[in-house]
Structure 1
Amino acid sequence: MNVIFMGTPEFAVPSLEKLHENGYNIQLVVTQPDKPYGRGKKLKKSEVKQKAEELGIDILQPDKIKKEENLEILKSYNPDVIVVVAFGQILSKEILDIPKYGCINVHASLLPKLRGAAPLNWSIINGDKKSGVTTMKMDVGLDTGDMLLKSEIEIDDEMNVGYLHDQLMIQGAELLIETLKKLEKNEIVPIKQKHNLSSYAPMINKNNSKINWNENVESIHNLIRGLSPWPTAYFRYEDKNIKVYKSSYIKEKTDYEEGYIIKTVNEGIYVVAKNGIVVIKEFQMPGKKRMSIESYLRGNKFPEKIILK
């Protein structure tokens, strides 16, 4: 089977590797252009580009895949399938219609739930008890195409988005190979999504990653683990953003105002929330490394009996 692969971040790399390991003829890898990174603003290759170079596969890095010249390049390969895993650009109908088996997407949610840009984060932020990956035959809508296969994973109260990401990128790669094999044998009956059951996973920004101490403790804990280790939840202290990586919570009533720091001890910073206490266990001060509260307190102090806003 001749394959064009479209992907950009680390999440897509195992899928590219699995295609190569299983003998698929990867004709071309399409990934986002190199982007400035770090203080020096040096151009950084995407993780998919790095892997494609390692495997010796031709690479295309369009600023806009929809341009006519890029459409002609894709047509020239006459692929049987275009595999799309976190590519980062919308495909036109002209591109979707090129391959025999269509464009197959590996999406990091159990569709139709959590369409959009950040399904991994929002699955945990929303307190879901399970997540997974779905292979889908793409159409012109945003993650609205017919579903092919699914693979699920249970989410416990301690799992963060980093762990979920690492598990699902492996499951997604395995599900992709199973999907392609069954498509070739005509063993999959596509299932249309029930659009009334869909939900949206928007991009994470500064507004929806700031901790609101007026929320209940479960919601704050879910926000923290849903954004850990990236892009991280944060709270404000002395006009600075303090990133939070790990927490726990205690459900009990207190007489203190939300945001009040009851105590700061080795076990964590105890902050009052709507229906209990959030215990911050790992954080990062501006310009410093991520560390446990216990490690931080060995050489520093953090206040207590103040109110965080």
Structure 2
Amino acid sequence: MSLRIIFMGTPEFSVATLRALVEAGHQVVAVYSQPPRPGGRRGLDLQKSPVHQAAELLGIPVFTPVNFKAEEDRQQFRSFDADVAVVVAYGLLLPEAILTGTRLGCYNGHASLLPRWRGAAPIQRAIMAGDKETGMMVMKMDKGLDTGPVALTVKVPIGENMTAGQLHDALMFAGARAMAQAMNKLEADDLPLQEQAQDGVLYASKIDKAEARIVFARPARDVHNHIRGLAPFPGAWFETEISGKLERVKVLETTLENGNGVAGTVLDNQLLVACAEGAIRLQRLQKAGGKPLAAADFLRGTALPEGTRLI
């Protein structure tokens, strides 16, 4: 026997879980994803989500309702007679009619160690806060925001220089394995649930573009965490004068080093930059409209010598 599963997800992060469920032998009877969005070079073509594309390759029917307010969409969801719905970064709040629309409810793969970092941006917020560890949790969904009881936890360490992109990939594969394991246990009626702790709740609010500017007048470790938490997207940035013009430069990788000086000042000719306490070495940068470059390659085309001020 295998479970009849409705899968609900949208970005690349969700694709690994969809594939893991299929490989585990479960019957994914339908996939729900966000509607196609404008994309392409000119933004004129409608682009299907990564989950949508993966489901089509797997031969699974895909549905893209804007929401579940229409009764016909709710009825269609129930018509699949699914045992369970699996939700990974779907991007829509699910009404009670959907949460209760399968025999065993909805299970969510969430990228944090709940109740820490409930909400939209748990990967970025964990790094920006300097957390040493995070993980994937399989949680049975209720009407709250990431408040349901937890079924399974997989912990993932956060390295000192790990970026949000790197952690994203580590959690993506850890989450896929965790959800497949959880569904196998659910099929065997061996998936106990544990209520979340009442203390330690933190909310991972959506990343605002206004947060992306680097503030060198902070301790070096805080600046380092801020930069790697926003890499590769949206990318933390500074501005400086290049060839007589103020230009914006994204920083995608840094390391912590010793150094003292006025915050935001380049301390040598290899992009050591002073912070309020200590310094950071800029390791990977990207000019507006350019490609990401290692620091040495960046400096071949752009001079940022000792004494340059970054703002």
Moved over 4 A (4+): none
* 8 Å CA contact 1:251, 1:275 repeated in 2: no
2:204, 2:238 → 1: CA distance?
22
Offset at residue 72 of structure 1 (A): 1.0
Residue 192 of structure 2 corresponds to: 189
2:285, 2:301 → 1: CA distance?
15
Offset at residue 147 of structure 1 (A): 0.7
Residue 174 of structure 1 corresponds to: 177
Residue 240 of structure 1 corresponds to: 247
Residue 282 of structure 2 corresponds to: 280
The share of aligned pairs that are identical, in percent, is 38
1:183, 1:173 → 2: CA distance?
15
Residue type of the alignment partner of 1:29:
V
Which 10-residue stretch deviates more, 86-95 or 221-230? 221-230
Residue type of the alignment partner of 2:273:
V
Offset at residue 306 of structure 1 (A): 3.2
SS in 2 for 1:197: coil
Offset at residue 264 of structure 1 (A): 2.8
Alignment of 1:191-206 (within 5 A): 191-206=194-209
Give TM-score, length-normalised by structure 1: 0.94
Offset at residue 107 of structure 1 (A): 0.5
Residues 226-268 of structure 1: CA deviation (Å, up to 9, x unaligned): 122222111122443311111112244x3x3211222232xxx
Residue 263 of structure 1 corresponds to: 268
Residue 12 of structure 1 corresponds to: 14
Residue type of the alignment partner of 1:158:
N
Cα gap change, 1:25/1:211 in structure 2, threshold over 3 Å: closer, same or farther?
Answer: same
Alignment of 1:8-157 (within 5 A): 8-41=10-43, 42-157=45-160
Residue type of the alignment partner of 1:2:
R
Residues 261-283 of structure 1: CA deviation (Å, up to 9, x unaligned): 22232xxx121101111111110
Cα gap change, 1:67/1:264 in structure 2, threshold over 3 Å: closer, same or farther?
Answer: farther
Q: Does 1:226 align with 2:220?
A: no
Residues 137-186 of structure 1: CA deviation (Å, up to 9, x unaligned): 00111111111100011111121111111111111111111111212223
Cα gap change, 1:303/1:43 in structure 2, threshold over 3 Å: closer, same or farther?
Answer: farther
Residues 121-145 of structure 1: CA deviation (Å, up to 9, x unaligned): 1111111111110000001111111
Structure 2: runs of 5 or more not aligned:
none
Structure 1: runs of 5 or more not aligned:
none
Give TM-score, length-normalised by structure 2: 0.94
Residues 51-101 of structure 1: CA deviation (Å, up to 9, x unaligned): 001011111011113432211110111111010000000000111011111
SS in 1 for 2:302: coil
* 8 Å CA contact 1:65, 1:89 repeated in 2: no
2:151, 2:52 → 1: CA distance?
27
* 8 Å CA contact 2:16, 2:173 repeated in 1: yes
SS in 2 for 1:4: strand
SS in 1 for 2:269: strand
1:58, 1:236 → 2: CA distance?
47
Residue 299 of structure 2 corresponds to: 297
Residue type of the alignment partner of 1:12:
S
